[in-house]
Amino acid sequence: MNREDFVKNLRQVGVRAYHDKHPFHIAMNEGLLSHEQVRGWIANRFYYQRNIPMKDAAILANCPIREVRRLWIHRILDHDGREDDKGGIEAWLRLGEAAGLTRDELLNNEELLPGVRFAVEAYVNFAREKPWPIAIASSLTELFAPDLMQARLAAFEKFYPWIAADGLDYFRRRILQARRDSDEALAFTIQYCNTAELQREAVLALEFKCDVLWTILDSIYHAYANSQ
């Protein structure tokens, strides 16, 4: 298919399958979650956050193209941190602390649900086993992330004032990072998924990633549905 149709098909995945439509996300953005439900989401989502650098390292390990590696490597540093920036994982730990969780609880996976562990590890294994352009395509949920982050930040500021404002820095930083990251990933996907078969696999990869994110929320939703 041509470039325009390919990009349209990728974006349509988000329209029908992105996890902003999950009942848990809708409840979160409407201010309906209890303290325990918010903390349960933060604790379990942390397992996803801390595994993102390993997913990106797998992509790097499989990619033989220097120019791609030179750009993609910043994603690991964005999460793990630099000398002048402690990174996204640290920002998520501060979010947990602001919500009443301890660093040890998060780092020791004390609240981690089996379904969340399974979904996250499936995503990391996907990146290890699939051709690197297909693994990059799976990351294109970032196309839809800036709007989600903007809505999430507004909801937390409005409905969950018991979480200290500086604990929300992760959301603020990701609004800008996700726009940059999605532009990079989309450009690579268009350039290197350059056959009909690779384009088909790229769309399926993005659908898989949406399933991963949806499964994470399914697990959290069912575990904390009655916590009011």
Collapsing DSSP states into helix, strand and coil, what is residue 64?
Answer: coil
> Tens digit of pLDDT for each residue in 63-115?
999 999 999 999 999 999 988 888 999 999 999 999 999 999 999 999 999 99
CA quadruple 222, 92, 189, 123: dihedral sign: negative
Please tell me what DSSP assigns to residue 225: T
Distance CA 199, CA 113 (A): 34
CA quadruple 216, 218, 219, 223: dihedral sign: positive
Distance CA 10, CA 204 (A): 9
Please tell me what DSSP assigns to residue 163: S
Distance CA 201, CA 215 (A): 21
**CATH of the domain spanning 3-224:** 1.20.910.10
Give the gyration radius of the chain's Cα atoms.
Answer: 17
Distance CA 36, CA 62 (A): 40
HSE, side-chain direction, 13 A CA sphere, residue 30: 9
Distance CA 52, CA 226 (A): 30
- Per DSSP, helices labelled H in 31-113 are 35-62, 66-72, 74-80, 87-98, 103-107
> In this model, does residue 178 exceed pLDDT 90?
no
Of 39 and 1, more confident? 39
pTM, to two decimals? 0.94
pLDDT at res. 146:
84
> Tens digit of pLDDT for each residue in 35-77?
999 999 999 999 999 999 999 999 999 999 999 999 999 999 9
Distance CA 224, CA 42 (A): 12
Do residues 41 and 24 make contact, with C-beta atoms less than 8 angstroms apart?
A: yes
